[in-house]
Amino acid sequence: MRRLAIAMTALATTSASAQWTGYVQLRDVQRTRDVNCQALDLSGCRTMVREASTELLYDGKPAPQLQLTGRFDLIGDEAIGLVSATVRELSVEWHPSSVFSVKAGRQILTWGVSDYLYVNDIFPKDYDDFFTGGDFSRTKAPVDGVRLSGRMSDTDIEVVASRSAGDLSPRIDRFAALAGGARSADNANDQVDVAVRLTSHVGDWDVAGYVASFRTREQRFFTDGNDLVYDRPRDAHIGFSLTGNAAGGVTSLEAALRHTGTDRNDVVSRDFLPSAVKLIAGYSSEVSQDLTASTQLQLDTLLSRNRYRNSLAPGIRPVATTLATLNVRLQRQWSNQTVATGAQLFITSEGDFLLNPFTSWSPADGWTIQGGANLFDGKPDTNWGAFENDSNIYMLVRYSF
């Protein structure tokens, strides 16, 4: 691991002379609870992550109307025996005019206005990184596709056609909640997703509408004989969002109607809702100098409870007709914003929660030291409670160049 870290530092130094940017990073994540690693077949057991990584970013203009972006990762994780080199982004964007552009290739897309809960941000997320103290910027996973952006009058139009991709779930070789795994029952990754967003400004509010047809990002688990399998059925999605200044802060609202087109029996993932109305209301404010607070409340309401109950396997406890999830986040900064501490809480109406206290320190230009914890609790069949034995503490050191 030490040799890999030295090699990454050398690579970063060479790249910096070529006017690239990026970082080198060491991250260590320790489980706070004892589990039977052998029985669960976990590689990352007490030590869930022991990682050295580097990211290199190129962002340049090979021609006046062209923008080229490349982001490349090299990761070595001793905890699970992983060494990988991946292309996180590689795209070219063409601007033939001031009101139209085309971007093609691997890219990271973010829609909607909510930060930590998602309704209209239909693109995949990386929960393995998020649940182990990775940087927030890496919770968004890339897609391969084409994005067309244009402007007509006072309305921005964005159309995305992409290869379907699911969420990056926590890895089964380090998370006890997912030990055992399952096999895929469909070819969702060979399908094409299409999404359209219209954005405008109405009075003091930014307003957007969304229409999409896509394979679900989350996996729907069900039993097939003695096997546990999963699929990602197609969703039809229509939604809207608005955000603006109100009550001394930033207020946001998102809503969507989502319908899964195919029925399935013997579903064991009880939080997979076949048809639902989704709503998020959010508010953030600077409470005082260098102290910020934000809250988001998400409501998921079933449209057909009978359809949902009929899809569940025997013995699976159904969720309530409306499931509420609350996210609250506080952060305080000191010493010219070089030190920050805070915490965020996710809690649902079923009583399960994720508590994430965190702190960071930038002792010198380019250097960042972060630490924190991901503490899960709740009933074993709830969203956060399933990860109770995966509660962890983490620390990372990063040098950006």
Tokens of 241: 């969002």
Q: What is the DSSP letter of 136?
A: G
Span 335-348, pLDDT tens digits: 999 999 999 999 99
Tokens of 251: 């207020």
How much is the pLDDT for 227? 87
What's the CA gap between 14 and 218, in Å, rounded?
A: 40
Domains annotated on the chain, with CATH: 2-400 (2.40.160.100)
How much is the pLDDT for 41? 85
Rg for the chain, CA atoms, rounded = 22
Ordered per-residue pLDDT tens for the chain, 401 residues? 554 444 444 444 444 434 889 999 999 999 999 999 888 889 889 999 999 999 999 999 989 999 999 999 999 999 999 999 999 999 999 999 999 999 999 999 999 998 899 999 999 999 999 999 998 888 999 999 999 999 998 999 999 999 999 999 999 999 999 866 788 889 899 999 999 999 999 989 999 999 999 999 999 999 988 889 999 999 999 999 999 999 899 999 999 999 998 899 999 999 999 999 999 999 999 999 999 999 999 999 999 999 999 999 999 999 999 999 999 999 999 999 999 999 999 999 999 999 999 999 999 999 999 999 999 999 999 999 999 999 999 999 999 99
Question: Tokens 């989704």, residue?
Answer: 278
Task: Name which of 134, 135, 126 is nearest 48 in CA terms.
Answer: 134
Task: Name which of 72, 68, 105, 75 is nearest 88 in CA terms.
Answer: 72
The 3-class secondary structure across 326-387, one letter per residue, is EEEEEEEEECCCCEEEEEEEEEECCCCEEEEEEEEECCCCCEEEEEEEEEEECCCCCCCHHH
- Let me know: does 360 contact 368? Beta carbons within 8 Å: yes
For the chain, the maximum distance between any two Cα atoms, rounded to a whole number of angstroms, is 62
How much is the pLDDT for 17? 38
What's the CA gap between 10 and 7, in Å, rounded?
A: 5
Span 107-137, pLDDT tens digits: 999 999 988 999 999 999 999 999 999 988 8
Task: Name which of 290, 311, 294, 293 is nearest 302 in CA terms.
Answer: 311
Element (DSSP H or E) covering residue 340:
strand 339-348
Task: Name which of 9, 16, 27, 168 is nearest 86 in CA terms.
Answer: 168
